[in-house]
Amino acid sequence: MIKNVIIFLSYMLLFFNNSSVADENNKKLKVGLLAPFSGEYKNLGKSLLLSTQLALDEIDNKNILIIPRDSGSNDKKKLNIAINEIIESGAKAIIGPVSSSAFGELKKYNNNIFISLSNKEPRISNNVINIGISLESQLEAIEQLLIKEKKTKTIIMYPKNKYEKFINEKIKLLKLKNYKVFKYNSDPRILTGEIKKLTNYNQRKKNLKMRKEILEKREDEKSKRELKTLERLYTLGSVDFDSVIVIDFGNNLKSVLSSLVYTDVDDKTVLIATVNQWFDESIFRENLIKNLYFPSIDMKQFKKYNKNYFDAFGIEPNEIAILAYDALGLIYYVWKKNNGIDNINDFFIKEKIKGKTGTFEFKKNKVFQELKIYKTENNKFKEY
């Protein structure tokens, strides 16, 4: 099946190329697609192309032409060649690039609008609009969750790496009145020791031992019942916070959650939230926090999109390919609304836009996603 998809992609690229050159009708909407069809991230590029095809099928308007070009993987020369070919084909709006590292090159093409899939910065800059699920939007959603749950002592955790400065800048935008920042080492061998200190684990362990020793010397029924209860515990005493935000993902996130379990942080009393969670069910198969909150795109739409993608192409999509689907929908909406696309100001829409990823809007020169909060409960994802 995968081999057939690759052959199909080759024909699709050829078809798009020939159609874009042959068609001279100004009434058509020509949309460029910058995707890495070669190099390290070529599988992502193929997934983005298929996702735009899925969007085309749903829009069902023969006046839309997609012009895909290979932007390579971290290849500036290939990127610029691709952009110039797209522009020469007559496209004003371009989906891509995927990474914000290419933004410096985009400044050369002020007459074009790039709908980037990057999630690094929601701010609309010059000719680039980022529609990735930004950290800023996610933190804003978590902040509202903590306010609703009346949490007042928050620990914000993130790893010591090259993104520290960026994360710190986003944290400063929060309106939380009482929070502490805790930076940790991503090495699991060091991480657990750091979280032990954060949670005062050793002292809480001693508290339990001392209390059990006292109760063991007593013969009354009340003491015996308490001792029986303490036998099921690992520590005694609460931690000095009521909520945690972990800004991490993948295996690093799992290491943090595992360390919180090991240090006996009670997720029934301490609200634990994270970011960049795309309904990854592997989180259920680990010795991890059972009650985990996270902001995300609309789960029903995400699952429906994944099913439609699989039914159409026989393979699973890359998780961010859904953004290309919404990018084409956004461009088509603006084109229909304004009877064409002239410049980036056409995208400053006052009303909210609803896509597969959920609802988003343009305000204060930024793109904001209205994310829903989900919770892991009994090995399922449940909307908060």
Closest alpha carbon to 370 in 199, 162, 122, 125? 122
Q: Is the pLDDT of residue 196 over 60?
A: yes
- Calpha distance 341→331 (Å, rounded): 8
Please state the rounded mean pLDDT for residues 262-269: 92
Name the residue ranges covered by the structural domains of the chain: 2-133+299-369, 135-296+373-383
- Calpha distance 200→194 (Å, rounded): 10
- Calpha distance 295→227 (Å, rounded): 40
Cβ distance 383 to 373 under 8 Å? yes
Structure confidence by residue, pLDDT tens digits, 121-146: 888 888 999 998 899 999 999 999 99
Span between the terminal Cα atoms of the chain, in Å: 38
Closest alpha carbon to 263 in 157, 137, 122, 363? 157
Please state the rounded mean pLDDT for residues 170-178: 90
Q: Is the pLDDT of residue 50 over 90?
A: yes
- Calpha distance 359→322 (Å, rounded): 14
What integer pLDDT is reported at residue 287 of this predicted model? 67
Q: Please tell me if the domain spanning 2-133+299-369 has the same topology as the one spanning 135-296+373-383.
A: yes
**Tokens read off for 113:** 């609008």
For a pLDDT cut of 70, what percent of the chain falls above it?
Answer: 93
| Three-class SS state of 80 | helix
Mean pLDDT score of the chain: 88
CATH 1.10.10.10 fits 2-133+299-369, yes or no: no
Which numeric CATH code is attached to 135-296+373-383? Answer: 3.40.50.2300
Closest alpha carbon to 244 in 266, 274, 278? 274
Q: Is the pLDDT of residue 7 over 50?
A: no
Q: Which of 21-25, 70-74, 94-98, 161-165 has the lowest mean pLDDT?
A: 21-25
